[in-house]
Structure 1
Amino acid sequence: MTKTIAIIGSGFSSLAASCYLSQQGNKVTIYEKNESIGGRARQFKKDGFTFDMGPSWYWMPDVFEKFFSDFGKNTSDYYELIKLNPAYRVYFGINDFINIYDNIDAIKTTFEGIEKGSGSKLEAFIHQAKSNYDIAIKDLVYRPGVSPLELITPQTALKLNQFFGTVSSDIRKKFKNERLIQILEFPVLFLGAKPTKTPSFYNFMNYADFGLGTWHPKTGMFDVVRGIEKLAIELGVTIETNASIEKIIVENKTATGIIINGKTIKADIIVSGADYQHTETLLDETHRCYSAKYWESRIFAPSSLLFFVGFNKKIENITHHALFFDVDFNQHAADIYDDPKWPEAPLFYANFPSKTDASAAPNGMESGFFLIPLAPGIKDTEELREEYFEKIITRFEELTQQKIRNNIIFKRSFCKNDFVADYNAYKGNAYGMANTLLQTAFLRPKLKSKKVRNLFFTGQLTVPGPGVPPALISGKLVAELIHQSLRS
């Protein structure tokens, strides 16, 4: 029987859920508060420059392929992918950087040249990471987090010890060079927690990095948003923008509709891909599953200070993706997780999409995206934003041996206050809830409300966690739960 389903938000998880739910034969409408779809993965254009506003790393291409194959399609039916080589560069000082190339043999050679014997150690480490990846991505993450028994399989039983060690301790047992250690610790930052707090099992992210490589959709990550939007529309999904949700209507403990811009929209089922904590504020308090105290006690992934910058010349000595680890990695992590404050000396990330995609900037110019991870809930002012822009641009000029400050045509900043205003993000978080041991799988907020029938959730605050591939998986999981609930 066809059901009317209203989906709140149009990020990756919502778009994915809409495709699966429509494929099941339901009448599905997405309601997005902003004027553009994509959630955190929106696109920003100005004066001939184009920027992805959120995710910019295309990892785990197999997850994207699996998503489209569920509808008899391929990613190539919707967008073109380019494998980056080098995948990225990591700066540690002036004329001191390491390139991570697009194949494991080249990466082994790089490691061996820095620390004798590390090439063979890396091969063994990545072999273990691939084993974990096969278990996690091909099995565990496609489970809905309903029961702890989901984690108990013959494969995970053999790796039980890896849920109690940490990624950092495992890496440090094998490698001694601090630069190599930081490169190997970097991928788990996508999970939103310190490497010293992330279970060893999550070293599968190193296979996602070195084994599967770093890709770039031809004109940016928004190509993927457009691709899934096109698929959704082909499947019959309706999308409405500028549709701000004011209330979720509950009658007899059952969700029956939503109020949008003062208008009541009836629906048989409500799915929220918006911020989980914010979504529950759209309910009367008696219908909420998680208290303010609960949210306060959770470990959230960082917020970010972002800059979108247009340059009137080509930038030299830089790759598409670049990480600047020339300051104390551990101190910056402590400033995010242990004693939340603005870091005195921040690590930062720079992305120059016009190095790969000529259409991202006018001819002879460059588009640059800079990101500083910050503690969620931190004070955010224009003065602080400017202070930190000066910090990173000064270091960027020193480390890449060039002057660029006077070549800036424009810049736009985006920080904690904007994450709250545009995405209703709890404490202005950028990546959701961290995947620590006590916030994994069934220990995360549930896909299905325990107090309100026909109310479901999807996205980075629920199962399986932060990141674009997990968001696609989350959309599939919630659609499967809904399908099961309709059959029961």
Structure 2
Amino acid sequence: MSTENSKKRIAVIGSGFSGLSAAAYAAKSGNEVHVFEKHDQPGGRARQFKTDEGYVFDMGPSWYWMPDIIEGFFTDFDYKVSDFFKLVSLDPQFEMIFSEEKISVPEKNEDIHELFEKIEPGAGKQYDKFIKSAQYKYEVGMKDFVTKPCYSWLEFASLKIVGSALKLDLLSNFRKYVSGYFSDPKLRSLMEFPVIFLGASPQHIPALYSLMNYGGYVLGTKYPMGGFYQLVLAMKSVAEKQGVTFHFSHDVQKINTENGKVVSITVGDKDYEFDAVIASADYHHTETLIPKSLRNYNDAYWKTKTFAPSCLIYYLGIKGKIPHLKHHTLFFENELDHHIDCIYINKKWPAKPLFYSCCPSKTDPDVSPEGCENLFLLLPLAPGIQDEDAVREKYLKEMLERIEKHTGETDLISRIDYKRSYCVSDFISDYNAYQGNAYGLSNTLSQTAVLKPKIRNKKISNLFYTGQLTVPGPGVPPSLISGKIVAEEVNKLKLK
């Protein structure tokens, strides 16, 4: 804990998950913390909105995985998740639609074992071996590997991490790793799909990230009643209990420096003085708020980076129920690699897309009017792509037709009660997201750990960065960890 003499006045820019986390931890250490958020509510990409028709839409994250990491945040402040919201386990966790059949992933791990064995004789035993290895990676990876500030590789020189290096499979690619366990293409897709959240082809993601299969399938897919936004509100509450002050509708225009130090930030026509700044906003955007000579990275650097996808999202209110649609459904009737190539190589709209649907009204009656469905559709896209309304609508029509084919429903487009789309240009305008990316930097081997953008400015001693463009990477649990890492580094800062 900080002593009173080292108490700092800290500004946090942005109130996404990493910003909320950083603010709470920094305030817990005795600092005076102020969060500046350009929107009128907290959450960043995880904001929520309500419609006049009675629908409640989470704007971003919808997969509640790695519940122990999220619980760990609250434990650090002597709370429990259950103090703030009710968490339910989904059964099935999700359904995956292929061209000829569909697979529902059950809630219990032993039932997943049986499912694999039924699809491919011997695969049940292979699944158990895969998960045992994934559990080891999860326990070392999420507890030790991803908790480092990543200034230097020497941080990973502990006996535990060095001794685990081979078991962590950092140098083998995820696709080859999965194919060593399973032959059936559906099972391979089932195991590969979680790393899509990491923003790259399974061919370019380290096998270390099989830890996500454990963090999802074994620990279970959860849903917070009231929507994912309940996690945002809970974290805001924890931060406020530590003394954090929130300033909404406060867009930071400039970070002011003198002699290699931040002295203030400019919001509107007013300057606010601070001892340190933690930027939870888009990293590239944050660096436009300081002179070019003081930036960690120039534009040429960002152009060489591999970004995770952007996406086309539709928030739909549907009149009537869709009985055969699950809470989470992955539409994988088309070739995964074709869609991935359109994101990373060809950088164009996919001719045969994959997409994801979330229907939280299956679990939560409060997110839609009675007798209606709340439907969230997401189609991954290349960052920087053009996203005119006509193109968005074309893909909406295709996604709805595929849902109709899967569920036996007809003419869903005429049953739309509410509709809002969100795409690349919206990510840019709302979040200053570089090229409209939705998930930060891809977790490729060349962009892992020390090779990610640094959490500390090299020329401004009291400017720090947190969130999905720095360590540990994209996703809600990593963002919580990122905030904690940065708060600890700021706490070490000595005032002169």
TM-score scaled by length of structure 2: 0.96
Aligned-residue offset at 1:358: 0.3
Q: 2:59 aligns with which of 53, 60, 70?
A: 53
Other-structure match for 1:461? 469
1:405 aligns with 2:447: no
Other-structure match for 1:101? 106
* Contact 2:283 2:465 survives alignment (8 Å): yes
* Contact 1:310 1:366 survives alignment (8 Å): yes
Amino acid across the alignment from 2:28: Q
- Superposition pairs of residues 21-36 of structure 1, within 5 angstroms: 21-36=26-41
* Contact 1:40 1:53 survives alignment (8 Å): yes
The CA deviation string for residues 426-466 of structure 1, in whole angstroms up to 9 with x for no partner, is 00000000111111111111111101121011100011000
Amino acid across the alignment from 1:227: A
Amino acid across the alignment from 1:378: I
Structure 2: distance between partners of 1:440 and 1:486: 29
Other-structure match for 2:188? 181
The CA deviation string for residues 295-353 of structure 1, in whole angstroms up to 9 with x for no partner, is 00001000000000001111121110000000111100111112211000110000001
Other-structure match for 2:280? 273
Other-structure match for 1:240? 247
Structure 2: distance between partners of 1:174 and 1:159: 21
* Contact 2:34 2:244 survives alignment (8 Å): yes
Structure 2: distance between partners of 1:190 and 1:296: 21
Aligned-residue offset at 1:159: 4.6
Structure 2: distance between partners of 1:416 and 1:430: 8
Other-structure match for 2:333? 326
Other-structure match for 1:126? 131
Amino acid across the alignment from 1:437: L
* Contact 1:140 1:150 survives alignment (8 Å): no
Superposed CA RMSD in Å reads: 1.2
1:191 aligns with 2:189: no
Identity of aligned residues (%): 43
1:299 aligns with 2:309: no
1:71 aligns with 2:71: no
The CA deviation string for residues 256-287 of structure 1, in whole angstroms up to 9 with x for no partner, is 11111121111111110000000000011111
Structure 2: distance between partners of 1:485 and 1:371: 41
Amino acid across the alignment from 1:259: T
Structure 1: distance between partners of 2:456 and 2:155: 16
- Superposition pairs of residues 89-168 of structure 1, within 5 angstroms: 89-93=95-99, 96-161=101-166, 162-168=169-175
* Contact 1:246 1:262 survives alignment (8 Å): no
* Contact 2:145 2:161 survives alignment (8 Å): no
Q: 1:381 aligns with which of 363, 373, 388?
A: 388
CA shift in 2, pair 1:405/1:273, >3 Å: same
* Contact 2:322 2:407 survives alignment (8 Å): no
Gaps of 5+ in 2: none
1:228 aligns with 2:235: yes
* Contact 2:453 2:470 survives alignment (8 Å): yes
Gaps of 5+ in 1: none
Other-structure match for 1:213? 220
Q: 2:319 aligns with which of 302, 308, 312?
A: 312
TM-score scaled by length of structure 1: 0.98
Amino acid across the alignment from 1:72: D
| SS of residue paired to 1:486 | coil
| SS of residue paired to 1:93 | coil
Amino acid across the alignment from 1:360: V
| SS of residue paired to 2:249 | coil
* Contact 1:325 1:348 survives alignment (8 Å): yes
Other-structure match for 1:357? 364
1:16 aligns with 2:21: yes
Amino acid across the alignment from 1:196: Q
Say how many residue pairs are matched.
487
| SS of residue paired to 2:262 | strand
The CA deviation string for residues 72-95 of structure 1, in whole angstroms up to 9 with x for no partner, is 11111111100111000001136x
| SS of residue paired to 1:174 | coil
Other-structure match for 1:81? 87
Structure 1: distance between partners of 2:286 and 2:207: 32
Worse overlay, 430-439 or 187-196: 187-196
Aligned-residue offset at 1:158: 4.5
1:448 aligns with 2:453: no
Other-structure match for 2:488? 480
